[in-house]
Amino acid sequence: MCQAQQIIYKIIVQNMVFLFQAKNYRTLKSLLRQHTFFKFPFPRFFSSNSDSLPKDGSNVEWDLNNVIMVWNTPYTAHEWDILRFFKQCGEPKLAKNWTANKSNTLIQFQNESEVNKALALNRTEFMGRPLFIKKIEGKEENKTILAWNIPKILELNKLKLKEFFEDYGTVVDIRLNRNYKKEFLGKAFIEFKSTEDALNAFKLHNKKFLGKNIQLTTAINKPPR
């Protein structure tokens, strides 16, 4: 390594130390990936005991009997933040399609005891926001759909949404998705009386609702109240 490379290397290392001390992990992660001479497995690089950090669920065969859904995770949270938080419950694994900047995710545990410990953390504050946690009820019939691209207007209420869907099935409950400031996010969970009603409601996909084309998809479960 020539002198110029040594100087550059030293500057990069100094920047990394600064970012680590400032807990700016996102920028540091990007910096690590830009330089091939760093072969540290991330984020184990930051763990004083690398074996204590749970692995992700990339190759996990999911057992829905031991899976929870977590809502309202901060957009700044990284996978190791979430895994370390739930490490107190057992051996958590994230869904393989988890990405940063998602406000919800699936987490699998090894057994029912670990799941119950995680459920006890419902509404616990995590990185400044309360987490909403609910167990996924296996492969039960899904009577709930998720609607999004709903207009964020003051006059919107559950009654208007119910009237929109009632022609295609009996609506049992509607849950508007809001952030921690109670602001409506343009999404809602619509629960129907039967699976048949829920499937029939998909005929409304991309139909106009208060001036916008509403989008529909299946929902694993409603968020807890």
Look up the CATH number of the domain holding residue 112.
3.30.70.330
The 10s digit of each residue's pLDDT in 62-77 is 556 788 878 888 878 8
Please indicate, yes or no, if residue 23 is contained in any of the structural domains.
yes
Pick from 113, 135, 157: which residue ends a domain?
135
Is 204 a domain residue?
yes
The arithmetic mean of pLDDT across residues 164-186, rounded, is 86
- Count structural domains, the chain: 3
Residue 35 is encoded by which pair of tokens?
A: 């330089």
48 belongs to a structural domain: no
List beta partners, residue 126: 129
The pLDDT score that the predictor gives to residue 158 is 81
Tokens 């909403």 -> residue: 132
Last residue of some domain: 101, 135, 169?
135
Are 200 and 153 contained in the same domain? yes
Residue 33 lies in a domain: yes
**CA atoms of 12 and 30, how far apart (whole Å):** 12
Residues 161 and 103 reside in one and the same domain: no
Of 135, 155, 172, the last residue of a domain is 135
Residue 81 lies in a domain: yes
- Same domain for 155 and 213? yes
| Same domain assignment for residues 38 and 58 | no
- Res. 113: pLDDT tops 90: yes
33-37, 98-102, 111-115, range with greatest mean pLDDT: 111-115
**47 part of a folded domain:** no
Nearest C-alpha neighbor of 107 from the set 67, 135, 73, 136 = 67
Q: Tell me whether residue 92 is in a domain.
A: yes
pTM given for the model? 0.44
d(CA 135, CA 117): 11
Indicate whether 119 and 157 sit together in one domain. no
Are residue 15 and residue 80 in the same domain, yes or no?
no
Q: Of 225, 204, 152, nearest to 217 (Cα)? A: 204
pLDDT digit string, tens, across residues 153-168: 755 678 888 999 998 8
Domain extent, residue 8, equals 3-42
Provide the pLDDT confidence category of residue 179 given band limits of 50, 70 and 90. Answer: confident
Both 156 and 208 in one domain: the answer is yes
70, 133 in Cβ contact below 8 A? yes
Same domain assignment for residues 104 and 157: no
Q: What is the pLDDT of residue 103?
A: 65
